[in-house]
Structure 1
Amino acid sequence: MGNKPSGIGEVTRALVDHAPLLAPEHRFILIRNADHCEALSKADNVTEIPLHNPANGPGTLWFLPSIIDLDGVDLFHAPFNILPRGLTMKTVATVHDIMWLTHPKWCNPRPYGLIERHFYGHGINRALNEASAIATVSEATKQAIIEHRPHVAQRLHVTLSGVSRRFRKVAVDPAVLRDIGLKHDQNFILTAGQFAPYKNHEGAIEGFAKAFANRPDIALVMVQRRTSGIDKLVELARRLGVEDRVHFTGPVEFDTLLQLYSGALALLHPSLCEGFGNPVAEAMACGCPVITSNVSAMPEVAGGAALLVDPRACDDIARALRQVAEDSQLASRMRTKGLKRTEELSWESFARKNVEIYTKLLA
């Protein structure tokens, strides 16, 4: 576990926080990224081993048993899609999605993506073929795996992801919005997530431009973890005549993210595929109405609290955006439903389901 914020990081954090407490009869060994200097857990039944190799790196994938001493380990859980080679104990692999196997260009269309495709394809295939149990963070991912590899169905377990209680509605500081580039009293739509083709940020900009071509009082804020290739999005916004109303922030501090979720007219998350879709749950937990895709895991995560759209249909996205922006009663109902839905997305419940898998395998 390292310092880079991600959906996989949230899953790992939940296991670290809850699993040792839920299973005090077991001893847990946490392999910690050496760049993370502080201890991950204070539980009495936890030991930590610092490792300089990243979780999703070649050293971990191919040489982990040679790098650290795993003697005496009865079960190994890899919560990061790939399963390291050479493990002789029982194993659990959390497979968040299989896009690297089914739609690799959605993940990284650049030349370097060919290398990543080989790496992740190798690691995910080993997880599917060799893991004693395969955990998925949504029913949607489970079904996608079954369609791709029907013979692994008996080893699949759904451990639905949660949302941290850190995500909550907060007061918005106007100075924070000004720093992003928003004008005084300008409302905004929010899109959050790494810049990758499957996130469909082009569709978000096109839908925004169609919905609010004549609404200079509404802007689009795009929070992206990756910024390479952003020039294409800037050019798209320019061609659509909304360049001055589309603001790209890059990564932001957690407090800023809370304010953006809390202050947005809506979160627009028109992703083509997700293992879970953390921004959907995070936004709802902050009282933000959500517009998201009607495919993959998004309807499952939203649980009836969001407006669902065809992510490939610009008109459909625009229609939903106008509905939320122009119907305050609809937006209010969506906020209430969203908050209620996130109460059901518990990280403790997620960890408990994983501990149940451990117990079954160790028995």
Structure 2
Amino acid sequence: MNRRKKILVDSRWAGNTGIGRLYQEVMNYPPAEVSCEYVKSKMGLGSLLSPLMLGEEIKKSNAEVFYSPSFMPPAFSKVPFIFTVHDLMHLFYYSKLHKIYYEQVIARLAQKAKKIITVSHFSKSQLVEILGIPDELIRVIYNGVDDHFLKNEEEFVSIRPYFLYVGNRRTNKNVPAMLTAFAKARIPNDFMFYLSGNEDPELAILIGSLGIQKRVRFLGFIEEVDLPKLYKGAHATLFTSLMEGFGLPIIESMASGTPVLTSNTSSLPEIAGGAALCVNPHEVGAIQSGIEKLVDDEDFYVECIVKGLARAREFSWEKTAAETWETILS
């Protein structure tokens, strides 16, 4: 009987986030030849001391390889390590301290990795060009989409047709521009705009100034089990971010048979693969025209559904997990 290879995994990333989803799916498909143990420290994910803590955890472990589903690599690792950098958002949309930490700590430790995984060719190009990571050190492994989006036939019950946004409210998400474009779009007034999460004061002021209080609904926290129905019931998904490393809502929406309006920048056209309507996210007028096209052009709308379903079938979490474990064990 062959001895199983011991892998130490940074399990602190488990949870209801994009990174947590990747972690969960990779851990759902472990090869028979691995034995996993997990980082015991409860140190916060944002702690600047994480690399030192991970180095100590590795020192105490008898694991042969360390793996993290996110951007924190270990310092002073006695074993080969692999970690995933989803994007370089910290350099553009976070504090100056985040930028310095990424450039001076993460980038330097990354050079010592056995392999760095990233989720799009756009993110890989940023790692090479901005952080100076050698091209050959980086492997692109796309995220997946769960089968339940493709198989679901239930729709969220809404009396009025609606556009949908799923995501957080960070600056790169461009939510004010989407709301403004929706308000200006020459479409029937019965169209609603549904957003995940709760209303915040800044958006409330904007919505009031646009006069669309009765056409916007905040859905609060959305359970994973409810997402397919929400996508399926939507007229279209709006996801015109300024920057993304991947953009999971694009393929989740496509897998649900719902067209997507997204951006022509960063990783988004790469992930859309010609199956979504891509516009300039910096121009409210371009987003507005995209919304109008998805309401007015029925032939184009149906084309988006057909192409989107085909594109979504190219992604699977099982494939993501298999390629990740192959990288860990190689």
Fold shared, TM-score > 0.5 on shorter chain: yes
Aligned mates of 2:317, 2:123 — CA distance in 1: 18
Pair 1:148-2:159 in alignment: no
Aligned mates of 2:134, 2:293 — CA distance in 1: 42
Counterpart for residue 4 of structure 1: 15
CA shift at 1:71, angstroms? 3.0
Counterpart for residue 134 of structure 1: 116
Pair 1:83-2:73 in alignment: yes
The superposition leaves residues 241-265 of structure 1 with CA deviations (integer Å, 9 ceiling, x where unpaired) of 2122112223112233222111111
SS across alignment from 2:149: coil
Distance 1:310 1:166, change over 3 A: same
CA shift at 1:219, angstroms? 1.0
Please provide the CA RMSD for this pair: 2.3
Aligned mates of 1:136, 1:298 — CA distance in 2: 15
CA shift at 1:233, angstroms? 1.4
Counterpart for residue 216 of structure 2: 246
Amino acid at match of 1:336: V
The superposition leaves residues 304-348 of structure 1 with CA deviations (integer Å, 9 ceiling, x where unpaired) of 110000001111111111111122332222112111111111222
Counterpart for residue 188 of structure 2: 215
Pair 1:13-2:21 in alignment: no
Pairing of 1:1-363 with structure 2 (within 5 A): 1=11, 4-18=15-29, 20-21=30-31, 24-31=32-39, 50-58=40-48, 60-66=50-56, 70-101=60-91, 103=92, 106-107=93-94, 113=95, 124-168=106-150, 169-174=152-157, 177=158, 184=159, 186-212=160-186, 215-224=188-197, 230-360=200-330
Identity, % of aligned pairs?
30
CA shift at 1:124, angstroms? 3.0
CA shift at 1:151, angstroms? 4.7
Contact 2:247 / 2:271 at 8 angstroms: preserved in 1? yes
SS across alignment from 1:130: coil
Distance 1:122 1:249, change over 3 A: farther
CA shift at 1:135, angstroms? 0.8
Mean CA deviation greater in 52-61 or 128-137:
52-61
SS across alignment from 1:167: helix
CA shift at 1:207, angstroms? 1.3
Distance 1:5 1:118, change over 3 A: farther
The superposition leaves residues 255-293 of structure 1 with CA deviations (integer Å, 9 ceiling, x where unpaired) of 332221111110000001111111111111111100100
Aligned mates of 2:273, 2:102 — CA distance in 1: 30
Contact 1:82 / 1:120 at 8 angstroms: preserved in 2? no
Contact 1:289 / 1:338 at 8 angstroms: preserved in 2? yes
CA shift at 1:85, angstroms? 2.4
Contact 1:146 / 1:152 at 8 angstroms: preserved in 2? yes
Contact 1:53 / 1:60 at 8 angstroms: preserved in 2? yes
Counterpart for residue 5 of structure 2: none
Amino acid at match of 2:189: P
CA shift at 1:134, angstroms? 1.0
CA shift at 1:237, angstroms? 1.6
**Structure 1: 5+ residue stretches without partners:** 32-49, 108-112, 178-183
Aligned mates of 2:33, 2:240 — CA distance in 1: 44
Counterpart for residue 36 of structure 1: none
SS across alignment from 2:221: coil
CA shift at 1:27, angstroms? 2.5
Contact 2:231 / 2:237 at 8 angstroms: preserved in 1? yes
